[in-house]
Amino acid sequence: MALPGLRGGKQAEGPLLIFLLGAVSILGPLVIHMFYPATPGVKQTFDVSDSLVGLTASIPLFVIAIFTLVYGSLSDRYGRRPVLLAGLLLFVLGSALSAAAPSIWTLIGGRFLQAAGAACGMTLARAIARDVYGSDRLVKILSYLLMAYALGPMVATPLGGLLADQFGWRSVLVFASAIGLIVTALVFFNIAETREPRETGTPRTSFLSNCGTLLRDAKFTGYVLQSGFCSGVFFTMLGSSAFLMVEYLGRPAAEFGLYFLFFPAGYWIGNFISSRLSGRVDIDIMVFAGGAVVLLTAVALAALMVGGIVTPLSIFIPGFFITLAQGMALPNAQAGALQVSHVLAGTASGIGTFMQFFCAAAFTQLYGLLADGTPIPMVITISIAASLSFAAGVVPFLRRKE
């Protein structure tokens, strides 16, 4: 049941609610990407090895992936609002502890708490959207949230670099604390409990039982795997394109930054198309079509790379169409997963978010293991992820009449 006294009195609507859900969604990217420019300063301050400093950046990835599952299940049992507020307060606490850390181990602990808190946003924003908007407008709202999520890394990395250069690495974490406090206050006063009271008895089954209930549904499994493998394609493309531009082609980092805009541009256009087609084209058709375009573009990219046509445009134009197709498929796959069980929407959102982070980490690691200084490891990794994404999307497409 929802915890007493925490249901809230006022519920934001329209653009304000979408803005608030977008704000809590980008806390994850904020934790991950804003801190990267601060790591050299951390190493200098504590005089520690690169591997130890690296933990401050890598641990949050695993923590966020795990805690998305926890928040989803807790929100089904106790309500969205109290769990969201608890996560936001944990984010603020972790940020403040990290900013004041007297040692590298305290910083690592603070980053753990910070990431654990940030994980609430990505999971609960989707669950709240499912509660408030139902099936009819869910794809459109998720498209907007994904656009905000994609914007996070684009803003967080340069902002983190600016703060670290001007005020030192601790200022990055002070800024995160301030943002966390502002978002917490806005959520406290503007988001009421959205999980319906009639759901109170049902989620008392165990977390594993709830996961099993969802994963036994073939359509749900198809949706979350399609989203996960799509994320594997996307993150592999991000990492490999940077290497190919700077190391393989010898282009300056600034030029890579310009070409990099192809990725968010494709993603945002795909999200916009998805929002426009919401309600007109069946969700399962959009998921299938997006997966098919990703696979076909991956094949075209492989042909170019294997054929020796390795230029910025031969990398980023296919990348544009891959991200465009993902922008079309992901909101629909996420909406489909959330619609499988309204009672377990929080758990469903947690599983979906976990799969995205897990597959992103797994395929990024696979690319790193295969990397040999040529474009071929990128081709292999993206081809595998794109093929699996397409195969997963076929399942709900074939079962769309059920």
Helices (H) and strands (E) in the chain, counts: 16, 0
Query: Could you give the 3-state DSSP secondary structure of residue 281?
Result: strand
Q: Rounded to whole angstroms, how far apart are CA atoms 264 and 266?
A: 5
pLDDT(351) > 80? yes
Cα 242 from Cα 380, distance rounded (Å): 17
Rounded CA gap, 295 and 322, in Å? 8
Residue 265, amino acid: A
* 199-241 per-position pLDDT tens digit: 444 445 677 888 888 888 899 999 999 999 998 998 888 778 8
What distance in Å separates the CA atoms of residue 116 and residue 92, rounded to the nearest whole number?
A: 11
C-alpha distances (whole Å) from 342 to each of 46, 193, 202 are 48, 15, 11
**Confidence at 10, pLDDT banded by 50, 70, 90:** low
How buried is residue 51: exposed, middle or buried, by Cβ count under 10 Å (0-12/13-18/19+)? exposed
Task: Using DSSP, state whether 158 is helix, strand or coil.
Answer: helix
Residue 5: burial class (beta carbons within 10 Å; 0-12, 13-18, 19+): exposed
Burial of 209 (0-12, 13-18, 19+ CB in 10 A): exposed
List for the chain the helix, strand, coil content (%; round to 5).
85, 0, 15
Whether residue 12 has pLDDT greater than 70: no
Mean pLDDT along residues 95-101: 96
> Quick one: pLDDT at residue 401?
64
pLDDT band of residue 1 (cuts 50, 70, 90) is very low
Q: What is the pLDDT of residues 163-191, one digit of tens each?
A: 888 899 999 999 999 999 999 999 999 98
* pLDDT at 201 (0 to 100): 47
Question: What class has domain 210-398?
Answer: mainly alpha
Task: State phi, psi for 371 to the nearest 5 degrees.
Answer: -55, 130
- Judged against a pLDDT cut of 50, whether residue 143 lies above it is answered with yes
Compute how many other C-beta atoms are within 10 angstroms of the C-beta atom of residue 191. 24
pLDDT 10s digits, 304-330: 999 999 999 999 999 999 999 998 998
Q: What is the pLDDT of residue 177?
A: 96
Reported as a pLDDT band with limits 50, 70 and 90, residue 336 is: confident
Q: What share of the chain has pLDDT > 70, as a percent?
A: 93
**If you average pLDDT over residues 66-73, what whole number do you get?**
87
Interatomic CA distance for residues 73 and 68, integer angstroms: 9
The helix (H) or strand (E) run that includes residue 371 is none
74 vs 157: which has the higher pLDDT: 74
Integer Cα distance of 58 and 64 in angstroms: 11
pLDDT recorded at residue 8 = 55
**Can you tell me whether residue 278 is helix, strand or coil?**
strand
Question: Which of 193-197, 262-266, 389-393 shows the lowest mean pLDDT across its residues?
Answer: 193-197
Which is nearest to 142 in space by CA: 390, 334, 280? 334
The predicted pLDDT at position 3 comes to 46
The CATH label, of 1.20.1250.20, 3.40.1800.10, 1.10.150.130, 3.90.226.10, for the domain at 14-201 is: 1.20.1250.20
Q: State phi, psi for 86 to the nearest 5 degrees.
A: -65, -40
Whole-prediction pTM: 0.76
From residue 120, alpha-carbon distances to 24, 33, 52, 75 in Å are 8, 17, 26, 10
The Cα–Cα gap between 222 and 355 comes to 12
Return the SS3 of 70. Answer: helix
End-to-end CA distance of the chain: 31
Angle between helices 50-78 and 39-46 (to 10 degrees): 120
> What value does the mean pLDDT take over residues 276-288?
87
pLDDT for residue 235: 82
Domains 14-201 and 210-398 agree in fold: yes
Class of residue 277 by CB neighbours under 10 A (exposed 0-12, middle 13-18, buried 19+): middle
Mean pLDDT of the chain: 85
Query: How does DSSP assign 296-355, residue by residue?
Result: HHHHHHHHHHHTT---HHHHHHHHHHHHHHHHHHHHHHHHHHHHS-STTHHHHHHHHHHH
Amino acid at 69: L
Tell me which DSSP letter residue 215 carries.
H
